[in-house]
Structure 1
């Protein structure tokens, strides 16, 4: 079923995504497009029922004012100007302060002037994407790097639904995943979903490359580069692959920069394909926000542990084993992290705290175990809440729960004799330690 669409033209406002998400919350699909879209490009978009010109104080880019082509005003569908010199004035200019009034104005525009239908939902999205994937791929084959993260897992499930055995997933275990994650990937995709899954045990290879490396940025570069090499090697062992599936989502595209807005940060899956692999891209999630990706995963039948997986850094536990990575300290991170997650779940905090994890620094302190002196590592607990990851507050964890976690970690994790709780918000700290 083709969804009706409201197009937002990006004139530099910081509230494009807020408005797009608000329209989608009304059950109507919305996309953000660059300000310099042509009338022909706009008319080529499917089922456009209305256009929002979203300006604001950032409408000046590189010293010059940006605007849409005059022809866009006469595109043939209703147009709403937001904080922009247009016929409708500044209806939504004060979104943060007047959200209720802004939502009423949006409803009037979307359902009244545009006559859009509330037909944007996950079932329709999945049906449309299955059709589009089949049309794009035909009888050819697709390769997907399956990390076990939310985005790649949902893409895998969607591709399996669309093309089945034409998909080959490659899961690279670099030894830096959390406890049980590689096993979960194999169980869900190979055993339950009967996917073509290539499992690569590259633990020794990665840890060998990382031996003695202390600088966190250098660790990140080594992990990223080695992952690409391993994936390329596996890809070249397979015949007939013409497409590469990627878990690109809408924030990746927006943060990587548009013609109007400067890049916030680059994303490896936006314009980062090695040229010699020569694959066409299949990116069925590229217009979804993160919460929508999770909803898609639920609708596709993925387990909650995979769908609601916490944010996890690309280098994995490699940046939570502070300083030069050693196998024993890496295991201390993995085991203590598993205990923390288990106890938070038992206490009903799973899904209520945005992110929680452990880190183990590369220094030791004196302690006592079984009446004997020890010289072991501390484990640092981190639990934070955030909306946009730009700022973060520290979760007020009950002291009794901290005591229970401390007791378990110091008794169950070898080489550990202290547990500390990080009370630092962002700023002045960051969410991760490296």
Structure 2
């Protein structure tokens, strides 16, 4: 059964983003939501009938790594372009529009990656159909390009609106005569009223000047969106959806870890159904140092959540014995979580299970031909047994991380909880590469605690989006006290990000790194080497597993 919260499009003006696999696709949806416009990422293969049923105000075709003319390239149904809503094609989306509507796309003579100077043509200022897209945008501005193919012939009825030195068709739009247009064979193409615009550059990335403004202008001026998406409005909608799903007597057991996502979800459920929500905090033996006491005090003591702690650490560690593959770890942990929740649900006679699944979890866990491949299975998305005894409630499923933090503020969650770094559901198991044992957990806990303590001491904790230590599956030779050692290696990871779909490594000052490394090798028995991870996402993920 599709989660009730998928019906958000019924409450808000929707812009549908069709995903062709670009690493930037999710950013399109985020940029629009930041402008107060609800947007949802859908696979390019969504049927025209299903898309029509959603009644979007507009459709955006994302970029993608394929070539439209290649065998097996992802294509939308031709009937999509007959929908009576404005459409915007970005990079591959522009080329798909050209390919489907009678233009030509070929391998470019010169690839264009990185910054380029965009020049709006003089016709833009006089074209009443599209000039509002450029409201507040100068005639020349810097954009981010990422393409090897290029449009070589415009589709019938399309005109150029902007160009770069290397791309004469950098922005194109459908500008028909009063009688519409016809292709070379005399067949009709698009109706005169169709609003179709294509951008060869990526407006969704921060490297493009005025990119967010261009996207917002498209939605507001061409699609007629007012911008009715906010966390203040969402609180009432989400609470009403919970109440409708569980009814007047339904009981919910909560998957609570103490992290931002589960905390916000738990507070939301508490406000929605009161005592019928039973929060369960599972000590799986994979938590950070002093985590159990801190979570109980914060959620139960300060936020008043009805919280019960279950010690299942030995059960989890036993299930993880000999498991080293990261995907298998996640599935084992997810399965064990559900078994524990099932037992608790029977105790309180619950019918529903709350999970703090986020939109990035869904995007990264669901793979389809063409768009983004499965990066990793999230334990609360892909690790669920086929025959689970509880129905899922996922009120955050279509929210990005920054939106969850906003929601927490609206709900009155304290700043220290809202600003807390994410901690993965599988816990330290996916930060220990290789075997998960009590000894290795103790080593990682101690190193991680020092790392976070020094980050806070240097007033850097809130400068990064996520920071943690990783225990590597290898040992290194060292010398301590004039003696040879052969001991564990700790990797430190700190990234700055807003959406956790992309991230840059954070440049911790050398003096701080030196102090961290010195403390770890001196205070954590069994560690003789510390390294710092300076890889961004992509190509890496934030977590190591």
The match for 1:353 among 452, 457, 464 is 464
The match for 2:25 among 16, 36, 46 is 16
Whether the 8 Å contact between 2:253 and 2:341 is mirrored in structure 1 is: no
How far apart, in 1, do the equivalents of 2:313 and 2:49 lie? Answer: 51
**Structure 2 stretches lacking a partner, 5+ long:** 1-9, 102-173, 175-194
Equivalent residues of 1:170, 1:197 under 8 A apart: yes
* Counterpart check, 1:142 vs 2:264: no
Name the CA distance, whole Å, in 2 between partners of 1:397 and 1:104: 33
1:422 corresponds, among 504, 521, 532, to 532
| 1:401 corresponds to which of 489, 492, 512 | 512
Contact 1:365 1:378 in 2 (8 A): no
Residue 289 (structure 1) aligns with: 400
Equivalents in 2 of 1:125, 1:398: separation in Å?
40
Structure 2 residue 357 is the aligned partner of structure 1 residue 248: yes
| Alpha carbons of structure 1 residues 229 and 376: separation in structure 2 relative to 1, 3 Å | farther
The CA distance in 1 between the partners of 2:76 and 2:483, in whole Å, is: 71
Distance, in Å, in 1 between the alignment partners of 2:502 and 2:226 is 37
Q: Does 1:4 align with 2:114?
A: no
Q: Distance in 2 between matches of 1:113 and 1:207?
A: 56
Aligned partner of residue 277 in structure 1, secondary structure: coil
2:417 aligned residue: 306
Q: Distance in 2 between matches of 1:63 and 1:55?
A: 16
- In 1: Cα distance, 2:516 partner to 2:382 partner: 43
* TM-align CA RMSD: 3.8
Matched residues in 2 for 1:36 and 1:227: separation?
Answer: 34
Equivalent residue for 1:183, pick from 289, 293, 303:
293
The residue number in structure 1 matching 2:57 is 49
Q: Compute the displacement of 1:70 (Å).
A: 2.3
Q: Does 1:95 align with 2:95?
A: no
Give the C-alpha shift of residue 344 in structure 1: 0.7
**Which stretch shifts more, 24-33 or 325-334?**
325-334
Distance 1:81 1:17 in 2: 15
Q: Which has the larger radius of gyration?
A: 2
Q: Give the structure 2 partner of residue 194 of structure 1.
A: 304
Contact 2:21 2:372 survives alignment (8 Å): no
SS at match of 2:459: coil
Q: 2:480 aligns with which of 367, 370, 377?
A: 367
Query: What is the rounded CA distance, in whole Å, between the counterparts of 1:287 and 1:49 in structure 2?
Result: 19
Name stretches of at least 5 consecutive residues in structure 1 with no aligned partner. none
Whether 1:167 aligns to 2:277 is yes
Say if 1:336 and 1:409, in contact at 8 Å, map to a contact too: yes
Size of the aligned set, in residue pairs, is 426
Partner of 2:427: 316
Q: Give how far 1:220 is off.
A: 5.0
Q: How far 1:339 moved relative to its partner?
A: 1.8
Instruction: Judge which range, 125-134 or 249-258, deviates more.
Output: 249-258
**Shift of the alpha carbon at 1:357?**
2.6
Q: Secondary structure at the match of 2:490?
A: strand
